[in-house]
Structure 1
Amino acid sequence: MLAALALLLGLPLALTADPPGCAPLLTVTLDNATVPGLLGQWIYIAGASRYEPHLAELRAVKHAVFSFSPGSHEDELNVTEIMRLNETCVVRNTSKILIFWHNSTLAHVDDQIFSTAKLIQNDKDLLIMKHLNPSSPGLSLSARTPNVTKEQMEEFKAHLHCLGLTEEDVFFTSEKDACPLPGEKMGEDDAEPQSG
């Protein structure tokens, strides 16, 4: 079972030509100015893919919060994830993000699973990831808060269209399914978090 971040970085992307009327998706150059902007907490809002192995995972993630912190090397970020997969809350802090500076690619490494993505972001509070896989398109949306603006959602939808995906391909999470964060009191409907 892949964590929410694995969904973010593991969803594939077709490296085919953009549909007519779409400009190429511009990705962020990762450098010493942009990477610190990734640090901190993010809320996973939505993901889209047509890659069959990931569809069950997209359906299973009901809510996810993840955070990036500096790793032990300059080309590495630590990841902590708290997510509800169907009815179970899971906490994971065993995965890493590797930064490939030469081509501005992020790679998620978790339990010998290696997946890559590029960041599409023109807003410091929005994280849109284009997932790299030659066989199927994929895109994910995360934000600093559980709510995104209409303009931010329109930007995500425009990227979906340019990758040949539709709104029917999108799986959204729900704030009502949030797991308690460490130190928060759990309601009677919340499942006990499990370490993964």
Structure 2
Amino acid sequence: MARAGIAAVLVLTALLPAAAAPCEPAQPQSPANVTAPGLLGTWWYVAGAAQLPQHLLELLLIDHGHLRVEPGAGGQELLVTQHVAAGGRCLSSNSSYFHLPDGGGTALVKHATTQQTMGTLLNLSSEDVLLIQHQLQKERTYSALYLYARNQTVSEAQRDEFARHAQRLGLSEGEIVYAPWRQELCQGEETQDGGAPGTAPPATGPASPAPSGAGSAMNQQQ
């Protein structure tokens, strides 16, 4: 598997180039009114949607994955460990965290080392579903959206809701890829210790955009 493809499947960190500033959404979205207790625990990866053609192809490499969200040093930060199965390997990264502002407001995804904003959490009708929006600034702004849930599958209504959010960002139905869950490589607590094959150390800087494949901690491990 190409190094760029391996790096791209870590979906929370693959979209932000080092020099890019956070962008405004293509269409107004509702920021998630979330609390720390509601985010803690395991979230299973369900689907991703992306406008950038190369990244859309790389989403097809994902068989399954999950996030493990744990308390950070302060009440505003929640540590995020990602596990993604691709190319017969379970890849892990803990280079991002959720930031919950005091007094409410938009919950953000930030880079663990640089504290640069990488995405936002968006509202869905169910507390058992987590929606994460990213944007990538290249020659134009590209949107991406990721769906996680407390269970490995979601209802038809939740799929439709995800598709509507994607459409508001200019993402078509053909740009949505659901994880097939064919293998058993990154299952729950089995990868919590960071000892699975392909596990990466924390990133030392912002991940490179998926198409370039340069500068990512995951690239250096392959």
TM-score bracket, normalised by the shorter chain, equals 0.7 to 0.9
Match of 2:68 in 1: 67
Whether the 8 Å CA contact 1:6–1:110 is kept in 2: the answer is no
Secondary structure of the residue aligned to 1:175 is coil
Match of 1:107 in 2: 109
Match of 1:126 in 2: 129
Which residues of 2 match residues 88-99 of structure 1 at below 5 A?
88-99=89-100
Whether the 8 Å CA contact 1:95–1:109 is kept in 2: the answer is yes
**Residues 1:55 and 1:87: Cα distance change in structure 2 (over 3 Å):** same
How far off is 1:148 after superposition? 0.5
Partner Cα distance (2:67, 2:106) in 1 = 21
Partner Cα distance (1:117, 1:5) in 2 = 10
Secondary structure of the residue aligned to 1:159 is helix
Whether the 8 Å CA contact 2:65–2:186 is kept in 1: the answer is no
Question: Residue type matched to 2:197 in 1?
Answer: P
Match of 2:33 in 1: 29
> Which of these residues, 11, 15, 20, is aligned with residue 25 of structure 2?
15
* Higher strand proportion (structure 1 or 2): 1
Whether 1:150 and 2:156 are equivalent positions in the alignment is yes
Match of 2:179 in 1: 173
Whether 1:141 and 2:152 are equivalent positions in the alignment is no
How high is the sequence identity, in percent, across the aligned residues? Answer: 28
Question: Residue type matched to 1:108 in 2?
Answer: K
Partner Cα distance (2:189, 2:39) in 1 = 24
After superposition, the C-alpha distances for 1:40-72 in whole angstroms (9 at most, x for unaligned) are 101111111113563354233221111101001
After superposition, the C-alpha distances for 1:19-59 in whole angstroms (9 at most, x for unaligned) are xxxxx5322234xxx23201110111111111356335423
Kindly report the root-mean-square deviation, in angstroms, between the aligned alpha carbons of the 2 structures. 2.9
Structure 1 portions without partners, runs of 5+: 19-23, 185-191
Match of 2:19 in 1: none
Whether the 8 Å CA contact 1:83–1:89 is kept in 2: the answer is yes
